[in-house]
Amino acid sequence: MTRTLTFALASAILAGAAIAAPIELGPRPYYLIDRMEEGALKDKLMACQDMDMTAQKFSIGHRGAPLMFPEHTVESNRAAARMGAGILECDVTFTADKELVCRHAQNDLHTTTDILATDLGAKCTTPFAGADGDTPAVAECRTSDITLAEFRTLTGKMDAANPVGEIVEAYMDGTAGWRTDLYAAMGGTLMTHAESIALFDELGADFTPELKSPSVEMPFDGFTQADYAQKMIDEYKDAGIAPNRVWPQSFNLEDVLYWIENEPEFGEQAVYLVEWSEGFDEQNAETWAEDFAALVDQGVNYLAPSINMLVTVKDGEIAASEYALAAKDAGLNLITWTLERSGPLTTGGGWYYQSVAEAVDNDADYFTVLDVLAQDVGVDAVFSDWPATVTYYANCMAQGM
């Protein structure tokens, strides 16, 4: 069932026009470059403004292009492909009938779809209850609360919620001011994982599915974690996708080791995701949870730390962190996440930039961070919520996997 395109999804794909259309970056990369401080990096980037841009694997669409489009929708991923993202992501979770779908978390339907405005809201793990005085609004809706058929009736919206909303409409109206609802007004087209494979292949992009941690206890109705990890890979095999086009990801090392052992062709490019946690210091090895040499010995080739783990400030300038240099020295390939994700750099950039907050003060610094990640850290690819920025850099600097 998941390998059959619905009429709505097929129509949405066909409406996307020619797959081989020229890459269109739009004004944002040029806007950022114009506002960079004078110097060699700005001069180099300025010199590339008349280049014919091409899709680049260095540029990964993080859930598509969710800075402005509802994440994990056909529309979001088509936008990312048009901005030259050479790899696209489907975060993978499952429904009540154990079908794989694209959602950032198993329990995010209340913030990423219109489920609360439908009759399916009554099936949520925690149905909506509006804010009452100092008590914030609550809701939790899981893909495992509904069947695939029910999932298909939903539409995507910008990932947001207003905790002081007293009614559903107010709760759903929480999009951050630095994002937009302009491209969400008509709703986004949701996808199963198998449908994302068909779409990304049609767009000429490669794949980086992330197996999400379940919100339900596993096994789920007999569905084990190993079943889950295997089913995700099986959908690429069923679609005839070559393993070297797939970078399967997980924050769970056991998933990565499962692929390495049981699906070695796919395990060759399996990505172990890690993130900044309390007490972590990018310059102090005693605070690091990862044993890089042990990971390599276990067959892990790709490590994907969050950006804040890979950069630091040295002598007032953004630089590669000791963590990044140690990981590279151990022989790990690095991918990082997520550029243009957590808000304007004019106000520090939020969680992703906490290790360099003192050195960033405007959005043009995205290119400075990107340059350090590419040239000093030596990452293979960068996830972005607006892939045009990374695509521009990759074309200009000849970066790529």
SS3 for the chain, per residue?
CCCCCCHHHHHHHHCCCCCCCCCCCCCHHHHHHHCCCCCHHHHHHHCCCCCCCCCEEEEEECCCCCCCCCCCEHHHHHHHHHCCEEEECCEEEECCCCCEEECCCCCCHHHHECHHHCHHHHHCCEEEECCECCECCEEECCHHHCCHHHHCCCEECCCCCCCCCCCHHHHHCCCCCCCCCCCCCCCEEECEHHHHHHHHHHCCCEECCEECCCCCCCCECCECHHHHHHHHHHHHHHCCCCHHHECCEECCHHHHHHHHHHCHHHHCCCEEEECCCCCCCCCCHHHCCCCHHHHHHCCCCEEEEEHHHHEEEECCEEEECHHHHHHHHCCCEEEEEEECCCCCHHHCCHHHHCCCHHHCCCCCHHHHHHHHHHHHHCCCEEEECCCHHHHHHHHHHCCCC
Give the pLDDT confidence score for residue 176 in this predicted structure: 95
Q: Which two tokens stand for residue 257?
A: 């080791």
The reported pLDDT for the residue numbered 21 is: 60
- Sequence-ordered list of residues with C-beta below 8 angstroms from that of 210, at least 6 positions apart, any chain: 89, 90, 91, 92, 248, 249, 250, 273
- Decide: 387 and 80 in contact? Cβ < 8 Å: yes
Q: How many CB atoms lie within 10 A of CB 147?
A: 16
Threshold 0.75, pTM exceeds: yes
- Distance between CA atoms of 296 and 227, rounded to whole angstroms? 25
For residues 372 and 320, is the Cβ–Cβ distance under 8 A?
yes
Nearest to 63 by CA among 105, 26, 95: 105
Q: Which sign, positive or negative, has the C-alpha torsion 149, 153, 156, 161?
A: negative
Q: Please enumerate in sequence order all residues whose Cβ is within 8 A of that of 340, keeping only pairs 6 or more positions apart, or say none.
A: 67, 366, 384, 385, 386, 389
pLDDT tens, the chain, 401 aa long = 333 344 344 444 333 333 446 799 999 999 999 999 999 999 999 999 999 999 999 999 999 999 999 999 999 999 999 999 999 999 999 999 999 999 999 999 999 999 999 999 999 999 999 999 999 999 999 999 999 999 999 999 999 999 999 999 999 999 999 999 999 999 999 999 999 999 999 999 999 999 999 999 999 999 999 999 999 999 999 999 999 999 999 999 999 999 999 999 999 999 999 999 999 999 999 999 999 999 999 999 999 999 999 999 999 999 999 999 999 999 999 999 999 998 899 988 899 999 999 999 999 999 999 999 999 999 999 999 999 999 999 999 987 77
Model pLDDT, residue 343: 87
Token look-up 């020619």 returns 18
Which pLDDT belongs to residue 399?
A: 79
Degrees to nearest 5, angle at CA 315 with 314 and 320: 20
